[in-house]
Amino acid sequence: MKITMAHGSGGKSSAQLMKDIFGKHFSNDVLNKMEDAAVLDIPGRIACSTDSFVVTPLVFKGGDIGKLCVCGTVNDLLMMGAQPKYLTCGFIMEEGLDTELLDQLVASMAAQAREAGVIIAAGDTKVVEGNGGLYINTTGIGLIPEGRDVSSANCREGDVILCSGNLGDHHACILSHRMEIENDIVSDCAALNDVVGALFDAGINVRTMRDVTRGGLGTVINEIAESSSCKIELDEEAIPVSPQVKGFSDILGLDPLYMGNEGKMIAVVPAEQAEAALAAMRSTEHGKDAALIGRVLDGEGAFIKTHLGATRRFDVLYGEGLPRIC
């Protein structure tokens, strides 16, 4: 069956869709009350984040838009030191969307929400004209435990930068799909609860965490250097990139420094805790390839030390990072 404008009318077709797909997968005590708004009981400091997901293709190696829209928002909450609690979701469906595919994507979303420990507390669907596309917005809230203070402005001279694993996988995977290139590159799409949890469990004094999404590591490092008024120097050789992604990006003229990820993060920690923090990250599924990639220094700007010993400054990503022409 295909989604039609009738599914967005608010009438019988809408109700049926709600029951057959969303109700079936998302069922929980908060949502099942079906009131105009969810009522949540959360004491303390709250982190809140929203993100919209417009990825094509809807299903890719290593994930789909359903999984992605949970991971993206959950990771944003985690990066503030928060424990993700609730998500809301807004589905904008284009007419022609296959309901079997929708069912698959909603199931994937529900499974990822369970894994990440978040409850889907509210949602909405709309149908617009189009060609079977789907866009999802998720908003999340999380609780920040007492005593945590994680911020992009907290880096200090002497801190070290840790990266949770190989960069560029998601970007390369999506581009491979779009360009119909056959390879083994799988998106890293994942919720990073395990990595963040391990850092706090190990008693690490985490200064800053950022998930390395659009704009890539290069953009994130520049933003942190600016927020913390410090200089950051990365070690090119230490930045983890898989051989497949390196080969892929070399051919297309892309730089993994600016390629997007959906399951990678950096953590800035005091130098004396570097080993303990790395060990904690590496003990987790999503941090097993973690590496120490750079240091916070006195000064300003983002720099990279190349494998031959030269140092150059790098900037945020400009434009779209499109494949080059020759």
Under rule CB under 8 A, residue 300 binds other proteins: no
Residues in region 53-112 near other proteins by CB under 8 A: none
Under rule CB under 8 A, residue 182 binds other proteins: no
When the beta carbons of 9 and 311 are compared against other proteins, the nearer one is: 311
When the beta carbons of 44 and 312 are compared against other proteins, the nearer one is: 312
For other proteins, the binding residue among 24, 33, 178, 288 (CB under 8 A) is 178
Size of the site for other proteins (CB under 8 A): 22
If 0-12 CB within 10 Å is exposed, 13-18 middle and 19+ buried, where does residue 289 land?
A: middle
Return the ∠ at Cα 288 (arms to 53 and 303), rounded to 5°: 75
The distance of closest approach from Cβ of residue 310 to other proteins in the complex, given in angstroms and rounded to an integer, is 3
When the beta carbons of 90 and 96 are compared against other proteins, the nearer one is: 96
Which stretch, 32-40, 260-268, 289-297, 306-314, contacts other proteins (CB under 8 A)? Answer: 306-314
When the beta carbons of 5 and 181 are compared against other proteins, the nearer one is: 181
- Residue pair 56/178 in contact by the 8 Å Cβ criterion: yes
The distance of closest approach from Cβ of residue 324 to other proteins in the complex, given in angstroms and rounded to an integer, is 6
| Helix 169-178, helix 243-252: angle, nearest 10 | 50
Phi-psi region of 14 (alpha: psi -120 to 50; beta: other; left: phi over 0): alpha
The distance of closest approach from Cβ of residue 315 to other proteins in the complex, given in angstroms and rounded to an integer, is 5
- How far apart are alpha carbons 80 and 61 in whole angstroms? 29
The distance of closest approach from Cβ of residue 325 to other proteins in the complex, given in angstroms and rounded to an integer, is 4
Residues in region 237-266 near other proteins by CB under 8 A: 253, 255
Number of H helices, E strands in the chain: 9, 13
The distance of closest approach from Cβ of residue 94 to other proteins in the complex, given in angstroms and rounded to an integer, is 18
Residue 190, both tokens: 């994942």
Q: Give, in order, the Cα–Cα distances in Å from 27 to each of 31, 33, 34, 74.
A: 7, 10, 11, 19
Binding site for other proteins (CB under 8 A): 178-179, 253, 255, 306-315, 318-320, 322-326
